[in-house]
Amino acid sequence: MNNDISAQNTEKRDYLAWGVVLVGLGLWLLASNVFKWNLGAAFPLALGLLFLVWGSLAQRLGYLIPGGILTGIGAAGLLLDGPFSGLEDPASGGLFLLVFAGGWALITLTSALFVRRVAWWPLIPGGIMAFIGGALLSGEPGLTALEYFGQGWPIVLIAIGLYLILWRKGLQE
């Protein structure tokens, strides 16, 4: 009996999520036709937001992941095409990575708020992108730091490997 009610609630949430997605997509396309807007550049952002809404309503992490990624890419693309169109390399790449990292953080935030199961793993790629993006935006000192980091990062792998070997050895004794 309890499983039947749970299945019915899940089915209702799925229909609600699909309905919101279809209404949003229809409004997007209607506005594009009626007002002759070029909304193609903003399509990844809109699609990402639709996935986020869908995942939030359906309470499914699987929809939040593409939602966060597409929202980050779409927002970064719009910023670089719009207000930051004059930004040159490497600063434009840094801005893209920072905004894209925000999309990854959005996965963790929306999972905590709506799915009630916090997905911490997106903070790892997002954090790496934010670090590199910040370094690119900071100019010459950041580029120098990235160069050193690019040469020295295998030391981190060696340290983690040694820790695991010694920790494992400690478990066996």
Query: Is 17 inside a domain boundary?
Result: yes
pLDDT band at 112 (very low <50, low <70, confident <90, very high): very high
In a domain, 156, yes or no: no
Please measure the distance between the N-terminal and C-terminal CA atoms of the chain and give it in whole angstroms.
51
Q: What is the pLDDT of residue 104?
A: 97
Q: How far apart are CA 22 and CA 47, in angstroms?
A: 11
Residue 60 maps to a domain: yes
On whether residue 59 sits in a domain, the answer given is yes
What is the average pLDDT across 9-31? 78
Tell me the average pLDDT across 123-132. 95
Whether residue 10 lies inside any domain: the answer is: yes
**Out of 33-42, 85-94, 118-127, 155-164, which region has the weakest mean confidence (pLDDT)?**
33-42
How do residues 57-103 score in pLDDT, each as one tens digit? 888 899 999 999 999 999 998 888 888 888 888 989 999 999 999 99
Domain assignment of residue 51, given as a range:
2-138
Q: Say what the pLDDT of residue 167 is.
A: 79
* Residue 167, domain member (yes or no): no
Q: Residue type at 141?
A: P
Asked if the model's pLDDT at residue 155 lies above 60, the reply is yes
Reported as a pLDDT band with limits 50, 70 and 90, residue 3 is low
Is position 158 within any domain?
A: no
Q: Give the pLDDT of residue 66.
A: 95
* Single-letter amino acid code for the residue at 90: P
pLDDT above 70: residue 151: yes
Per the structure, the count of domains in the chain is 1
Q: Are the CB atoms for 11 and 5 separated by under 8 Å?
A: no
Please indicate, yes or no, if residue 33 is contained in any of the structural domains.
yes
